[in-house]
Amino acid sequence: MDNVITTDRLTKYYGPQCVVDSVSLQVPRGSVYGLLGRNAAGKSTLIKMLLGMVHPSYGRATIFAEDASRLSPETRQRVAYLAEGHPLYRWMTVGQAVRFNRSFYSTFNDNLLEQILDHFELPPTAKIRRLSHGQRAQVSLALAVAQEPELLILDDPTLGLDTVVRRDFLESLIQIIQRKGRTILFSSHILGDVERVADRIGILVDGVLRVDCPTEHFKESIRKVVLEFDGPPPALPKEPPVAGLVNSRRVGNKLELVVVEFGDEHRRLAESLGPLSLEVLELNLEEAFIEYTRGPKRSLPIFVGDQPNDQSIVRQGVA
Amino acid sequence: MEFRIDSASRVPIYRQLTTQFREGVARGKLLPDQRLPSVRELSRTLVVNPNTVAKAYTELERQGLLNTRPGLGVFVAHPKAEITQEVRRQRLEQSADQFLIDAVHLGFSAADAISSISERAAQFQWQPQRTG
């Protein structure tokens, strides 16, 4: 099994700020890797380091076994990159953008491009600055797919797209996946899409790759354990540290623990706290992601002004 | 029978597919020797990674519920009695106990619970009664 992308302790500092922290991952040929993380978790920086657009502070990355910061033009031709925001030259027409793009890729498939543009009803004479966001995304995607790339790197490709365009995009992605041997790495906020499409997911939290596993393993191994007590819940013992504990919080009389690889030791620990009841719940991908990336729970401040005598409400209500 | 997936579900996608398949067979919506969509076709229809569909099909094949005929496609298998009678009986009793526990807690009488079973059984495709 050869790896199309590898990173070895890839790290990037901007001044004193560590934006990507010692990330090591591999993406095997033919697989789809979904990179998840909150905004500013380091996804885009990581991706730019894979393309040699940003140089790492430490560590290295390879694409097709070449150092990512020194990719040869031949290797670059095998990679299609969809940058965040689908940048295109606004003054060009679709046709001009195609001619511009095509000149860099010897494998460019004109027929395929025409089919895709036809399907999306994008005439070559259309000016890019007149297109909607969704249409620009379609042009970008068409250009990337027509390159017939062995590796597709997509940075938040569905950002800002409406539901229908997003579904179109997903369907195109499935078609690409079905052509054997293509490898895809994409970052996204839409957990549902990632779950459908990715073989493997990685979750970046503050620059650290905290999760890196097959997609369904993540869902299957993460559990929320809810312990109810008849008073305020006890604190978890600090020593020994609980392996696999992702998050813990107290909500009223309940203690909620989010655990990976929930097993007997976790159950015994939970029972040793003497709860009235113990429930083990599954989570869907979105819930699991939130547990991993939210950090310690802060409750939202209660809005003042709910009282019926409140002046501001009286003033608001009158037409 | 249409396969569907729920992307907000807590159940992994491949398991949703295997569950739907088993239910389809149990309800007679999928019949023995019926051709199933190929991995490609289904992954396209459901907009899901083909590996996920492949995983579901592999699992079902391992359980003896479907078989692949090279060059022809994927087909629903004929039901086979592979586990012992004792084990079958035990599993059935476990399922029955689950149902009965729920029925008791919901406040039903035994007669009502049993007639509910008889009614719903009509929706399913049953094997001919085996002797012994």
- From chain B, the residues in CB contact with A192 under 8 A are 7-8
Confidence check: pLDDT of A16 > 60: yes
Complex-level ipTM beyond the 0.95 threshold: no
Q: Which residue of B has its CA nearest to A197?
A: B49
pLDDT at A64: 96
What's the predicted TM-score (pTM) here? 0.81
Rounded Cα distance, A237 and A270, in Å: 11
Q: Which residue of B has its CA nearest to A195?
A: B7
Confidence check: pLDDT of B121 > 60: yes
pLDDT at A318: 40
Q: Which residue of A has its CA nearest to B10?
A: A284
> Which pair of tokens denotes residue A11?
């790290």
CB contact under 8 A, A174 and B8: no
Confidence check: pLDDT of B60 > 80: yes
Rounded Cα distance, B93 and A16, in Å: 65
CB contact under 8 A, B8 and A282: no
**What H or E segment, with its residue span, contains residue B118?**
helix B110-121
Q: Assign residue A37 a region (left: φ > 0; alpha: ψ between -120 and 50; beta: otherwise).
A: left
Domain ranges (residues) in chain B = 13-76, 85-121
A213 shares contact with chain B (CB less than 8 Å)? no
CB contact under 8 A, B40 and A219: no
Q: Over the stretch A23-77, which tens digit does the pLDDT of each residue have?
A: 999 999 999 999 999 888 899 999 999 999 999 999 999 999 999 999 999 999 9
Rounded Cα distance, A48 and A61, in Å: 11
SS3 A120: coil
Closest C-alpha among A204, A206, A244, A200 to residue A223 = A244
DSSP A127: B
- From chain A, the residues in CB contact with B40 under 8 A are 178
CA distance B38 to chain A (A): 12
Letter string b/e over residues A112-149, b meaning 16 or more CB atoms within 10 A of that residue's CB: ebeebbeebebeeebebeebeebbbbbbbbbbbbbbbb
Q: Over the stretch A159-206, which tens digit does the pLDDT of each residue have?
A: 888 888 888 888 888 888 888 789 999 999 888 899 999 999 999 989
User: End-to-end CA distance of chain B, in Å?
Assistant: 33
Rounded Cα distance, A199 and A4, in Å: 15
Interface test with A, best of B45, B46, B51 (most A CBs within 10 A): B51
Closest C-alpha among B51, B55, B78 to residue B67 = B78
Percentage of the residues of chain A whose pLDDT score is greater than 90:
48
pLDDT at A319: 41
Quickly list DSSP for A153-200. Answer: EEESTTTT--HHHHHHHHHHHHHHHHSTT-EEEEE-S-HHHHHHH-SE
CA distance A172 to chain B (A): 9
Percentage of the residues of chain B whose pLDDT score is greater than 70:
95
Hey, what CATH class is B13-76 in?
Answer: mainly alpha
| Average pLDDT rounded to a whole number, residues A193-220 | 90
Rounded Cα distance, A243 and A259, in Å: 8
Task: Answer yes or no: are the C-beta atoms of A79 and A151 closer than 8 Å.
Answer: yes
SS3 A35: strand
CB contact under 8 A, A286 and B8: yes
CB contact under 8 A, A196 and B47: yes
| Chain B residues near any Cβ of chain A (below 8 Å) | 5, 7-15, 40, 43-44, 46-52
Interface test with B, best of A167, A169, A183, A196 (most B CBs within 10 A): A196
Closest C-alpha among B76, B13, B65 to residue B43 = B13
Residue in this structure with the two tokens 């991952």, named with its chain if needed: A25
CB contact under 8 A, B49 and A199: yes
The set of residues, in sequence order, having a beta carbon less than 8 Å from that of A295 and lying 6+ positions away, is none
CB contact under 8 A, B49 and A196: yes
Residue in this structure with the two tokens 């699991």, named with its chain if needed: A288
Angle at A282 between CA A162 and CA B11, to 5 degrees: 60
- From chain B, the residues in CB contact with A286 under 8 A are 8
Quickly list DSSP for B42-63. Answer: HHHHHT--HHHHHHHHHHHHHT
